[in-house]
């Protein structure tokens, strides 16, 4: 009989009220109880307490979850659904063939930054040769990346794996904005190149812990750690839970989403010379809104520079979900279609969208939406 690596009290906390269901993107698209938070919790309980088989359909029900955690915010019983799902996937990855060797290999590559950079350069060459379909929504990758250079020690800028390889220009924009607010920027040392978020989502918790230890060692001292990817920021803020040590708790308390950090320093930001000449629709990444609960800071930071438009979908997920869009393309596409409709209602088919997470940016771009990181918009406002 399989025991899921979850807390039984947390599993028991769900009262099956169903208030989370309208907030769940996979339930909204499918209408299936098995694709809802309540249904997934019921399936976990059946494995945990009634000896149900964790293979087959159970694995599929768990795998179709985007891990957006919108259900957590909606839940009156404070069920920590993210922890339940992570523990369940960890059990599946440890005891079943849930993560085959080739997926484990792909996840492992994320922790080898030079290899990732070399692979990204090869992908950039393939893009030039028109060998990469546009529908994948990849940003146009650079054949050469301008190196980032440290300018001080007031804050660390966490650079990460895929974002550094594919969107380093956004890191450069973030650095310019941080410096404009008067902060000198330090860059992580060796090992500060993968937060382990995708590994945690995949149930590869041991690998995530190994990466977390490396990240912590790469940014010593007590300076704040600023993160410009909502998914990475959520992972770094969770290191206390992931590692369960006082050092990890202390580290996690130093982590800020870049907008969260800038919002406390708006008086030091340069006054806008001119506001952006186009309206900007704000899309809240789930890991900024539901996990970090820091999404309003994006509005605080952008408001002096742009006319902002709100989406009317109550923060529904865009379907990116880390590796979800690659692993579950069909359901991910259906979830994204609802987000695209909300964007068009807010700003029309040619809306410019601000999104503080690289995965969401790529997900929306693959549907033809002009999504940009807020820092890129800020940098553009400074240049206008
Ligand atoms: S994490 Fe998101 S996709 Fe998964 S059950 Fe909760 S609301 Fe649904
Ligand atoms: S997870 Fe929370 S909101 Fe959803 S059914 Fe259970 S108790 Fe209700």
Asked if residue 35 has its Cβ within 6 Å of ligand 1, the reply is: no
Q: Which of 27, 79, 83, 290 to mutate to test the pocket of ligand 2 (most atoms within 8 A of CB)?
A: 79
Ligand 2 centroid to 215 CA: how many Å?
34
pLDDT at 123 (0 to 100):
86
Ligand 2 centroid to 80 CA: how many Å?
10
The CA angle 62-67-69, to the nearest 5 degrees, is: 125
pLDDT tens digits, 333-342: 999 999 999 9
Please tell me whether residue 358 adopts helix, strand or coil conformation.
helix
C-alpha to C-alpha distances, 317 to 96, 128, 305, 323, nearest whole angstrom:
29, 32, 26, 14
- Which residue reads 């230890």 in tokens? 213
Ligand 1 centroid to 80 CA: how many Å?
11
pLDDT at 225 (0 to 100):
98
Ligand 2 centroid to 37 CA: how many Å?
7
Compute the distance between CA of residue 201 and CA of residue 321 in angstroms, rounded to an integer. 9
pLDDT at 111 (0 to 100):
86
- Which tokens hold the place of 219? 């940014």
pLDDT at 120 (0 to 100):
87
pTM of the model: 0.93
**pLDDT tens digits, the chain, 384 residues: what are they?**
789 999 999 999 999 999 999 999 999 999 999 999 999 999 999 999 999 998 889 999 999 999 999 999 999 999 999 999 999 999 999 999 899 999 999 999 898 888 888 888 888 888 888 888 776 667 778 888 889 999 999 999 999 998 998 999 999 999 999 999 999 999 999 989 899 999 999 999 999 999 999 999 999 999 999 999 999 999 999 999 999 999 999 999 999 999 999 999 998 888 777 788 899 999 999 999 999 999 999 999 999 999 999 999 999 999 998 889 888 999 999 999 999 999 999 988 788 999 999 999 999 998 999 999 999 999 888 765
Asked if residue 40 has its Cβ within 6 Å of ligand 1, the reply is: yes
Q: Which of 18, 21, 22, 26 to mutate to test the pocket of ligand 1 (most atoms within 8 A of CB)?
A: 26
Ligand 1 centroid to 186 CA: how many Å?
36
pLDDT at 145 (0 to 100):
83
Residues contacting residue 274 through CB under 8 Å, at least 6 positions apart: 381, 384
Asked if residue 209 has its Cβ within 6 Å of ligand 1, the reply is: no
Please tell me whether residue 46 adopts helix, strand or coil conformation.
helix
pLDDT at 271 (0 to 100):
78
Sheet holding 352-355, edge to edge: 308-310, 280-283, 352-355, 370-372
Asked if residue 65 has its Cβ within 6 Å of ligand 1, the reply is: yes
Cβ pair 41, 64 in contact under 8 A? no
Ligand 1 centroid to 66 CA: how many Å?
6
pLDDT at 137 (0 to 100):
61
Q: Please, which residues bridge with residue 355 across strands?
A: 283
Residues contacting residue 221 through CB under 8 Å, at least 6 positions apart: 153
pLDDT at 384 (0 to 100):
52
pLDDT at 130 (0 to 100):
81
**3-state SS of the chain: helix, strand, coil percent to 5?**
55, 5, 40
Compute the distance between CA of residue 160 and CA of residue 226 in angstroms, rounded to an integer. 12
Cβ pair 178, 186 in contact under 8 A? no
Q: Where are the beta strands (DSSP E) in the chain?
A: 155-158, 185-186, 225-227, 255-257, 280-283, 308-310, 352-355, 370-372
Task: Give the atom of ligand 1 at the shortest distance from the alpha carbon of 317.
Answer: 2
């Amino acid at each position: 009989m399989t025991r899921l690596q979850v807390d039984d009290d947390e599993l028991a906390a769900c009262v099956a009220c169903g208030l989370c269901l309208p907030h769940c993107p996979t339930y909204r698209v499918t209408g299936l109880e098995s694709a809802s938070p309540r249904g997934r919790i019921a399936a976990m309980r059946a494995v945990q307490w009634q000896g149900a088989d964790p293979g087959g359909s159970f694995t599929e029900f768990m795998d179709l979850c985007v891990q957006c955690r919108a259900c957590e915010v909606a839940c009156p019983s404070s069920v920590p659904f993210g922890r339940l799902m992570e523990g369940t996937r960890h059990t599946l990855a440890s005891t079943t063939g849930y993560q085959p060797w080739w997926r484990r290999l792909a996840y492992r590559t994320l922790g080898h930054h030079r290899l990732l950079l070399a692979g990204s350069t090869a992908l950039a060459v393939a893009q030039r040769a028109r060998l990469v379909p546009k529908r994948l929504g990849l940003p146009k990758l650079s054949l050469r990346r301008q190196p980032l250079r440290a300018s001080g020690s007031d804050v660390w800028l966490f650079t990460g794996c895929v974002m550094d390889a594919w969107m380093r220009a956004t890191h450069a924009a973030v650095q310019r904005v941080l410096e404009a607010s008067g902060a000198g920027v330090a860059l992580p040392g060796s090992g500060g190149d993968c937060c382990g978020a995708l590994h945690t989502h995949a149930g590869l918790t041991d690998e995530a812990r190994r990466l977390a230890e490396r990240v912590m060692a790469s940014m010593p001292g007590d300076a704040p750690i600023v993160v410009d990817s909502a998914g990475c920021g959520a992972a770094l803020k969770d290191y206390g839970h992931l590692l369960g040590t006082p050092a990890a708790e202390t580290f996690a308390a130093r982590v800020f989403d870049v907008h969260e950090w800038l919002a406390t320093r708006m008086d030091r930001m340069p006054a806008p010379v001119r506001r952006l000449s186009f309206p900007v629709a704000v899309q809240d990444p789930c890991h900024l809104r539901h996990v970090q609960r820091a999404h309003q800071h994006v509005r605080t930071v952008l408001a002096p520079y742009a006319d902002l438009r709100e989406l009317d979908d109550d923060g529904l997920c865009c379907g990116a979900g880390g590796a979800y869009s690659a692993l579950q393309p069909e359901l991910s596409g259906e979830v994204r279609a609802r987000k695209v409709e909300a964007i068009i209602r807010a700003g029309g088919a040619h809306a410019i969208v601000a999104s503080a997470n690289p995965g969401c940016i790529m997900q929306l771009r693959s549907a033809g939406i002009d999504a940009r990181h807020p820092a890129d918009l800020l940098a553009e406002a400074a240049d206008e």
